[in-house]
Amino acid sequence: MKLKSRFIKSIVAAAKTEEVRLPWTRGATRQTAIEHRHQTPSQQATVKSA
């Protein structure tokens, strides 16, 4: 088996087995990241010191 052929087969196999996390399935993790980005610098300092 050629190296390129084996590589492509491994990529196809990985693509079939991996489950992609779509944006609407990330829910709480995504929401906390968005809230963290929208905090003011003083709020971030309070969160970090707590």
Give the pLDDT confidence of 31-48 residue by residue, as tens digits: 888 888 888 676 656 666
The mean pLDDT value of the chain amounts to 78
What is the rounded distance in angstroms from the CA atom of residue 25 to the CA atom of residue 38? 21
Long-range contacts of 6-14 (CB under 8 A, 24+ apart): none
Residue with more model confidence, 14 or 50: 14
pTM of the predicted protein model:
0.33
**pLDDT over 70 at 7, yes or no:** yes
**pLDDT over 70 at 19, yes or no:** yes
